[in-house]
Amino acid sequence: MYFTDQLHRTLFLPKPPERIISLVPSQTELLVDLGLEARIVGVTKFCIHPEHLRKSKTIVGGTKNYRFEVIDSLKPDLIIGNKEENDREGIEKLAEKYPVWMSDIFSLEDNYEMIRHLGRITHTENQSQEIIQKIKSSFEQPISKKGTCVYLIWNEPFMVAGQNTFINVMLEKAGFENLVETSRYPVLEKEDLKRLNPDFLLLSSEPFPFKEKHLDFFHTLLPNSQIKLVDGELFSWYGSRLVHSADYFRIL
């Protein structure tokens, strides 16, 4: 059958895939939750959910750098990636030899579409629809407004989540107003953070692992802001992890 991915690329699969490589941690977790763990043959070193997976599957590299000889040895009949997380040159090289399905996620609707597509490709439509419905139901109850925020994803330089990102959509869902008006992931200076003076400065657990030891510095820099460590997976991991996001946002 022919399938179209979220980059509007068409790929042909003669049968449901039996040897899947996932290059995106959140989509790896989704495959497992769709009941496809036995069909996964390769994952990245960052595919940490479920915890045991990296011990039972072959590591094919990271999300940007791939061990092509290892991938060749696995003989995949489907590779799953994402436009933002994966290296374009590497993906194009893989697509010359294997069916590669790419996601491109900016909104919850994009996420639902991705889950539906992977459900169709892997013949797990019922499971995919169940996950979608759980996510939708979890967001049906309104989440109270919290205030303005800046969301840090990296330390020194201070890289933040701006507009036109999935994180920004999730911030809105969580009741925050993102003060960063620039698109994507701009770098801010100390003076920029002071000027913005957000109600909340959110320090994400990933990709930079902000910890308790970072709180004092930011308290000194922004004495009028609430500084919070937040679970970055629940703000940025599309897929089945979003089932847990709304409850987390309510108690944050």
Provide, rounded to the nearest whole percent, the portion of the chain with pLDDT above 70. 100
Closest CA to 78 of 111, 104, 45, 39: 39
CATH of the domain at 177: 3.40.50.1980
- Whether 69 is covered by a domain: the verdict is yes
pLDDT in tens, 173-205: 999 999 999 999 999 999 999 999 999 999 999
pLDDT at 136: 98
**Predicted pLDDT at 115:** 98
The answer as to whether 142 is a domain residue is: no
pTM assigned to the model: 0.95
Beta strand 100-103 with 78-82 is parallel
Residues 52-73: pLDDT tens digits?
A: 999 999 999 999 999 999 999 9
Q: For residue 66, what are the domain limits? A: 2-137
> What CA–CA distance (Å, rounded) separates 240 from 111?
9
**108 and 195 assigned to the same domain:** no
Residues 162-181: what's their mean pLDDT? 98
Number of separate domains in the chain? 2
